[in-house]
Amino acid sequence: MKAVSYESKHKMAVGSHPKPELKSATDALLRVTTSGICGSDLHMYDGRTGLDKGTVVGHEIMGIIEEVGEGVSSIRPGDRVVLPFNIACGSCFNCHQGNTHACLTMNPESAGAAYGYAGMGPYQGGQAEYVLVPFADFNCLKLPGKEGDEWEDDFLLLSDVFPTGYHAAELANVKPGKTVAIFGAGPVGLLAAHSAMLKGASEVYVVDSIPERLQKAEEFGAIPVDVNDGDPVDQIFALRKKNRPIQESRRPGEEKMAGVDCVIDAVGYQARDDNAPSQEKPMQVLENCLRLVNPTGHVGIIGVYLAPDPGAKDKESKQGVFSFPVAKLFDKALTVGSGQAPVKRYNEYLRDLIVNGRAKPSKIVSHHISIDAAPEAYDKFDKRIDGYTKVLIRFGESKKSKASAA
Amino acid sequence: MKAVSYESKHKMAVGSHPKPELKSATDALLRVTTSGICGSDLHMYDGRTGLDKGTVVGHEIMGIIEEVGEGVSSIRPGDRVVLPFNIACGSCFNCHQGNTHACLTMNPESAGAAYGYAGMGPYQGGQAEYVLVPFADFNCLKLPGKEGDEWEDDFLLLSDVFPTGYHAAELANVKPGKTVAIFGAGPVGLLAAHSAMLKGASEVYVVDSIPERLQKAEEFGAIPVDVNDGDPVDQIFALRKKNRPIQESRRPGEEKMAGVDCVIDAVGYQARDDNAPSQEKPMQVLENCLRLVNPTGHVGIIGVYLAPDPGAKDKESKQGVFSFPVAKLFDKALTVGSGQAPVKRYNEYLRDLIVNGRAKPSKIVSHHISIDAAPEAYDKFDKRIDGYTKVLIRFGESKKSKASAA
Amino acid sequence: MKAVSYESKHKMAVGSHPKPELKSATDALLRVTTSGICGSDLHMYDGRTGLDKGTVVGHEIMGIIEEVGEGVSSIRPGDRVVLPFNIACGSCFNCHQGNTHACLTMNPESAGAAYGYAGMGPYQGGQAEYVLVPFADFNCLKLPGKEGDEWEDDFLLLSDVFPTGYHAAELANVKPGKTVAIFGAGPVGLLAAHSAMLKGASEVYVVDSIPERLQKAEEFGAIPVDVNDGDPVDQIFALRKKNRPIQESRRPGEEKMAGVDCVIDAVGYQARDDNAPSQEKPMQVLENCLRLVNPTGHVGIIGVYLAPDPGAKDKESKQGVFSFPVAKLFDKALTVGSGQAPVKRYNEYLRDLIVNGRAKPSKIVSHHISIDAAPEAYDKFDKRIDGYTKVLIRFGESKKSKASAA
Amino acid sequence: MKAVSYESKHKMAVGSHPKPELKSATDALLRVTTSGICGSDLHMYDGRTGLDKGTVVGHEIMGIIEEVGEGVSSIRPGDRVVLPFNIACGSCFNCHQGNTHACLTMNPESAGAAYGYAGMGPYQGGQAEYVLVPFADFNCLKLPGKEGDEWEDDFLLLSDVFPTGYHAAELANVKPGKTVAIFGAGPVGLLAAHSAMLKGASEVYVVDSIPERLQKAEEFGAIPVDVNDGDPVDQIFALRKKNRPIQESRRPGEEKMAGVDCVIDAVGYQARDDNAPSQEKPMQVLENCLRLVNPTGHVGIIGVYLAPDPGAKDKESKQGVFSFPVAKLFDKALTVGSGQAPVKRYNEYLRDLIVNGRAKPSKIVSHHISIDAAPEAYDKFDKRIDGYTKVLIRFGESKKSKASAA
């Protein structure tokens, strides 16, 4: 079968790989119909992880079940399903508590497993014609329809970025009426904005420097903040100050809540310096978050902080250790939530929001390609050029390569 | 000053009453600009409570602060404010835990106080030109703007029915992606629907028999269910069964969740028999709720169940005791939440949703009247004729009486 | 193999049954070392359910794994395990949300399955030398030790009554410093008391009429209330009034909180009339609960309410419909939680409390018997004579029959 | 009146100060009977804050109400009360949400006010014969008894360290059956251990280097870990590994949870280097916490991190910015909670645990002194000599100075 594999820094290859076979009674074999390229794949592409050469990548996967083991009872051949990027056994201590992002049994090295990802266990990825699905009853989310196009893009995003954006909103404790700021308008940041709106936030600010992304944020009902226009934290303070009804309804002391209740870091350790965008400044976003958030507020860290990082510039950074404003965290009495999303905790609810017309995550999809175009797409996505925001690989009948109409 | 008072069953009077004066250092005096007639006022109007003759009624109140006691520090004369219908001291055990609906100090008879309401303490109501506000720092919600019309109706609804509808959604544990059914499309039911949508529900069904109300439900994004078209529970089961993508995404066993996750009783003890609408059947709505709700689901009871009820037909009903399907409650492993809303827990967030354009509760307002028209409005509202859904009394500059354009 | 089966009202038999065999790749076969007789087994014994003649009963089961299917990966032959009474698939919507008491796939008739129980699916029970365990990875809780006696009784109680008592405390929202009253000092009520103390309650009252049970309650740190001494609700009000430091620390209005914050019904539909103990009065306990609980308080219903009940005395009762004080529920703004316990949500934590010496549920065990003594034990337990509170059947090396020393 | 005031680094003075007078209708005047010296007072004593010379210090205060303003309705002269160290208005947005540690109106400089503390507003402290209490209805916790000694020490600790220790356990999400490690066995760490046990933790480890403190930890049921015996994290891993029943009950993969579920930093920015105890190493404790905590675990930061810190050694540290293992936070998917305790959220429940004999925080009290001995006590407490762990100043009839018998 055809698949995309990691070869070396800045090199992904499309080649022939053996079609996977069932190994356990609880496995299923999935014929992939669509697979996404994730922003987190770029960490591997950039050589910022220790991924083995030749690994088939891709953890955003949907398709049609082709075969199931004899211990699989709730999923049948022909079922259209999307997979959480986390591979989970469903029965360990963490899984049954809903923490499938920290499954104890699927990754011999640490807690939490995924398809085709550095440090996440020995699993081939899904930017491939077929993928093996462990514990299929637990890991498959059943979808309506067969191979038609309806919601194909929306559903694919249930594998990672929609639940991940939603999890960010959970980590930041977004609730009806709260104010929210999201740093980063990549796919996760945008869908964090979509999620914050779905959860009833009263004001959602989205910070980025790329016009197309800021425009998408606005389409989701958020207020765009362009880093090119100056310090984004100061901009948000100023925007809130200009909000006349908010100012007029303030009682004495409420000017101390002039920031926002909930902040989300949707960028991670490859953040750019606000004042020198060509340079990385790993703590730029978290510093902004802690300046902007109100006392008793909440910080959600969904942007990835990875260690060891062979590409970092100093010894501490290589270990993921950074200068962090601990006194401000304490002084403001904040909470922080962090880490990968437990996709299965949310994906049924998010699917139902899609099919009832209340959520439309596919607004973020910028490109559909065939698998052969994957290496070029990695390159352009990595360089943030030609509007590459979210690229989906279509298999089978949908072998067209095109920029999306959306 | 002019005020509306309860005289006897089916008789409200507009007359002259003494203007209230500050009694405590923590009081404020409010000049009322708008006051609402609440569905719960009808229980008194119908002689179904033990309210004293001559009591000034009205617990939905907003206006401009005219005077404050010397112990008031955060609210000033000239502030535009809306009052929670609950009167709360802010410092007792229940208040500081957020349970202002059960304030321990303001009502000598029981927990929880309100303006102008039977059994809720010795307070005159706010269908009057002025009202005395105890513990003004705690009880006033500051609003933007002065006396202009902008949001006047939306803000008035922050006194009771919007937070009450929202509380219903909280009691029923509505969360993003969940399915919800609301019985009763009066003001509270409609704003429960609005709240459920704001909280991200995937499907919201609203049951009633009055076409105008069902239409309002649809305007809030809900799915109307007309009792005149047959058993409402059966209708909702059928509607969900016709939802093709929901059916197609079902796995084995999920047909056991063919009802909804969250049900809300927004009717209460004066419910009508579905099969004989001219007759009361106090348990009609709760029976429907327990039939419709899914296993592990949640029931929110916001419709009022009052005892003693002098108008009930038998001894048990007079005490608010009814035949209830306890075994079904246990068998389905449900939770039930009930009681009045603690308005202050929500009103700042809901105000901010209004001023940011995300909530528009005033869609439910059907009539604006002058105080002199109040007795007639009570009569028509009680009879549910001429489209009377939500009537607001305007004072001062807004003395026009008209059906709303909305 | 030997097993206990239901034959007819008031008749359990010990007989020979076929040893179960693995049917699915995810099954395991358990050799039982101890099995309990549960108070809920008495509903079947009393002919108050529709259980089929010949069904092997028993849902409190622990033992040693003898064989596993090829799809089982985390549990091995030789493992000492205890089973939750609920049989759950682990991968359906309810299971992965932690609601294993409402598993959608294991019981064709409704949500939720169990071993050897009326209406809970086609599973043979565990008052038998062997039992088949579906989805063994998910359903087995691994225990330390092999077949020794250490904690054998404590661990057996992890199958049902300890997690069930704990769940009662969760349903009633017990938290540190809260006051709690538990009606019924059977095994579940006693372990609800133990759980409430573990959760930090400040005062725990336990109501019953049997001296030995009240004495056990006291051993767990609770305050016993004997129904024979008068109305139990009045007694608790009086006891709290005599608590001098509590009275002296009251502020104005706090006399409205003279009841308790959390009430637990650990009796169910076979409740006795407080004033005529020889007669059933199904709502006696819930009426007491609603009288005693404070405004904004919480009611946990863990006692079983079953329908249809062929033994009930009137048509409504046969359907589990009873006269319930709905107005009081609303007036006090209560929450109610109900239903069977999702054992797996708690059992690891409770096991760890046992092995660290912090919990000792086995204090409630009154008798150890061999399987041959089971019919007699059912009879005495049903009649509440000879101190029968909690009877455990020992298999294998522990074939002694005796009253416990504890 | 006599009071203790801050004069300069390492110098507290006892002198004569004017007796405070009521300034607002909502004030009360308290005659102090006992006042504590808090570990956080040492930050000021050490010259590590910007406190003004001459400020009366002390934020742990209890006594008898002498006079109340005319706007005070629930507290009367003669009432025995203890004050939360946080001064809160009760009616601002943060207060009514339970966040009294971030009251918006009482401190002109920032959110959150306290008696006699640097940066916490213009309030004189309570190491004095009298103290003025703003918003007395909200801030006074009523106590049983008058001036007798019963529970005097226990109740004094309700002002800060007991609720603060309890809040630490909340921040770290301690729940029944969970494993907990607390770094620091000062008063807050010890009462965090007491709280963790009250909340039902299965294993509580307490790390310190002072034998008397470790012994107190053991008295509360915790497992002491002496830093002098080697790396404390390694010690706890080893202790858990030696716990035979825990090891034997592990399933595959559970060795990844070999640390603890909940970690508490009860030390703060003046932490000592584990390997060189004479030197400060501000991140020592947080580094330990992040190494020890399990994936999906919880970190509670109750130890103070203050900025600006004039005594810090480099520019970043002066601003409270430290090298923090962000990648580990993300990789383990942790939550962090931090900041001062909102005392009023807990103090009624904790009082009731004391009067019902379930909590005994006064076990930590090491010394009772007269006010004249305060300067010497500060010196010895700062040097951690002569067993100084918790010093209480007794006023009035209790003018004895002695080491506690406890």
Distance CA B224, CA B361 (A): 18
Of A142, A176, A356, the CB nearest to B353: A176
Q: How confident is the model at residue B398 (pLDDT cuts 50, 70, 90)?
A: very low
How confident is the model over A378-388, as pLDDT tens digits? Answer: 999 999 889 89
Among chain B residues, the shortest Cα distance to C173 is held by B335
Of A202, A247, A250, the CB nearest to B356: A202
Distance CA C153, CA D321 (A): 53
Subunits with 3+ Cβ pairs within 8 Å of D are A, B, C
- Mean pLDDT along residues B42-50: 89
Contact D137 B91 (CB under 8 A): yes
Distance CA D44, CA D46 (A): 5
Contact C353 D250 (CB under 8 A): no
**Is B402 a residue whose pLDDT tops 50?**
no
Query: What Cα–Cα distance (Å) separates residue B208 from each residue in B191, B212, B366, D210?
Result: 14, 10, 17, 70
- Mean pLDDT along residues B8-14: 96
What 3-state class would DSSP assign to A120? coil
Question: Are B176 and A194 a contacting pair, CB within 8 Å?
Answer: no
Contact C90 A138 (CB under 8 A): yes
Q: Which domains occur in chain D, in start order?
A: 2-160+342-403 (3.90.180.10), 164-338 (3.40.50.720)
A310: number of Cβ within 10 Å? 10
Contacts of C266 (CB under 8 A, 6+ apart): C165, C168, C182, C183, C184, C185, C186, C188, C189, C192, C302, C303
C324 CB neighbours in chain B (<8 A) are 321-324, 326
Whole-number pLDDT of residue D402: 43
Question: What is the phi-psi region of residue A374: left when phi exceeds 0, alpha when psi lies from -120 to 50, beta otherwise?
Answer: alpha
Distance CA A336, CA D173 (A): 13
Question: Are A58 and A37 a contacting pair, CB within 8 Å?
Answer: yes
Contact D358 C200 (CB under 8 A): yes
**Is D12 a residue whose pLDDT tops 80?**
yes
Contact D335 A336 (CB under 8 A): yes
* Residue B66 DSSP class: E
The overall average pLDDT reported for chain C is: 94
Beta bridge partners of D263: D181, D299
Among chain A residues, the shortest Cα distance to D99 is held by A296
Query: What Cα–Cα distance (Å) separates residue D94 from each residue in A19, C166, C387?
Result: 58, 34, 55
Whole-number pLDDT of residue B173: 98
Q: Distance from B251 to chain C by nearest Cα, in Å?
A: 8
C319: number of Cβ within 10 Å? 17
**Is D90 a residue whose pLDDT tops 60?**
yes
**Is C147 a residue whose pLDDT tops 60?**
no
Whether this prediction's pTM lies above 0.95 is answered by yes
Question: What is the phi-psi region of residue C396: left when phi exceeds 0, alpha when psi lies from -120 to 50, beta otherwise?
Answer: left
**Is C166 a residue whose pLDDT tops 60?**
yes
What 3-state class would DSSP assign to B370? coil
Q: Residue C52, class by beta-carbon neighbours within 10 Å (0-12 exposed, 13-18 middle, 19+ buried)?
A: exposed
Contact A248 B349 (CB under 8 A): no
Write the DSSP string, C92-160.
SHHHHTT-GGG-SSS-SSSS-EETT-TTS-S---SSBSEEEESSHHHHPEE-SSSSSSTTHHHHHGGGT
What 3-state class would DSSP assign to B327? helix
Contacts of B130 (CB under 8 A, 6+ apart): B1, B19, B20, B29, B30, B31, B32, B66
How confident is the model over B313-325, as pLDDT tens digits? Answer: 899 999 999 999 9
Element (H, E) at C182: strand C179-183
- Mean pLDDT along residues B295-306: 96
Whole-number pLDDT of residue C146: 67
A90 CB neighbours in chain C (<8 A) are 90-91, 96, 137-138
Among chain A residues, the shortest Cα distance to C93 is held by A348
Question: Are A141 and A92 a contacting pair, CB within 8 Å?
Answer: no
- Mean pLDDT along residues D34-38: 97
Question: Are B389 and B364 a contacting pair, CB within 8 Å?
Answer: yes
Distance CA A333, CA D99 (A): 10
Q: How confident is the model at residue C405 (pLDDT cuts 50, 70, 90)?
A: very low
B220 CB neighbours in chain A (<8 A) are none
Subunits with 3+ Cβ pairs within 8 Å of A are B, C, D
Q: Which residue has the tokens 């009873």?
A: C322
Beta bridge partners of A293: A260
**Is A313 a residue whose pLDDT tops 90?**
no
Nearest to C222, CA basis, from C340, C363, C347, C339: C363
Whole-number pLDDT of residue A279: 93
Q: Distance from D307 to chain A by nearest Cα, in Å?
A: 6
Whole-number pLDDT of residue B306: 87
Q: How confident is the model at residue A148 (pLDDT cuts 50, 70, 90)?
A: low
Contact D332 A339 (CB under 8 A): yes
Contacts of A343 (CB under 8 A, 6+ apart): A84, A85, A86, A100, A101, A158, A159, A160, A163, A164
Distance CA D356, CA D15 (A): 39
Contact A355 B245 (CB under 8 A): yes
Distance CA A324, CA A318 (A): 15
- Residue C22 one-letter amino acid: L
**Is B335 a residue whose pLDDT tops 60?**
yes
A105 CB neighbours in chain C (<8 A) are 73-74
**Is A216 a residue whose pLDDT tops 70?**
yes
Distance CA C270, CA C306 (A): 10
Whole-number pLDDT of residue D399: 41
Beta bridge partners of A290: none
Whole-number pLDDT of residue C148: 60
Output the six-digit token pair for B95. 């208040």
What would the 3-class secondary structure string for chain D be? CEEEEEEECCEEEEEECCCCCCCCCCCEEEEEEEEEECCCHHHHHCCCCCCCCCCECCCEEEEEEEEECCCCCCCCCCCEEEECCEECCCCCHHHHCCCHHHCCCCCCCCCCEECCCCCCCCCCCCCECEEEECCHHHHCEECCCCCCCCCHHHHHHHHCHHHHHHHHHHHCCCCCCCEEEEECCCHHHHHHHHHHHHCCCCEEEEEECCHHHHHHHHHCCCEEEEHHHCCHHHHHHHHHHHCHHHHHCCCCCHHHHCCEEEEEECCCCCCEECCEEEEECCCHHHHHHHHHEEEEEEEEECCCCCCCCCCCCCHHHHCCEEEEEHHHHHHCCCEEEECCCCHHHCHHHHHHHHHCCCCCHHHHCCEEECHHHHHHHHHHHHCCCCCCCCEEEECHHHCCCEECCC
Q: Distance from D96 to chain B by nearest Cα, in Å?
A: 6
Write the DSSP string, A214-243.
HHHHHHTT-EEEEGGGS-HHHHHHHHHHH-
Q: How confident is the model at residue D145 (pLDDT cuts 50, 70, 90)?
A: confident
Nearest to B58, CA basis, from B160, B147, B141: B160
Beta bridge partners of A8: A11
Distance CA B101, CA B86 (A): 6
B253 CB neighbours in chain C (<8 A) are 92, 103-105, 111
Contact D344 B96 (CB under 8 A): yes
Q: How confident is the model at residue D400 (pLDDT cuts 50, 70, 90)?
A: very low
How confident is the model over B162-193, as pLDDT tens digits? Answer: 999 999 999 999 999 999 999 999 999 999 99
Nearest to C157, CA basis, from C265, C41, C61: C61
Q: Which residue has the tokens 């049917």?
A: C23
Output the six-digit token pair for A227. 């880093």
Element (H, E) at B194: helix B187-198
- Mean pLDDT along residues B85-111: 97
Within A142-231, where are the H helices? 152-156, 161-171, 187-198, 211-219
Query: What Cα–Cα distance (Å) separates residue D282 from each residue in B18, D304, D318?
Result: 66, 11, 11
How confident is the model over A4-38, as pLDDT tens digits? Answer: 999 999 999 999 999 999 999 999 999 999 999 99
A251 CB neighbours in chain B (<8 A) are 74-75, 142
Question: Are B285 and B186 a contacting pair, CB within 8 Å?
Answer: no
B97 CB neighbours in chain D (<8 A) are 98
Contact A104 D304 (CB under 8 A): no
Return the sign of the alpha-carbon dihedral for residues B57, B59, B62, B63. Answer: positive
Distance CA A23, CA A15 (A): 23
Contact C137 A348 (CB under 8 A): no
C358 CB neighbours in chain D (<8 A) are 200, 202
Question: Are B166 and B191 a contacting pair, CB within 8 Å?
Answer: yes
Distance CA B120, CA B107 (A): 6
The overall average pLDDT reported for chain B is: 94
The interface predicted TM-score of the complex, written ipTM, equals: 0.95
Among chain D residues, the shortest Cα distance to B349 is held by D93
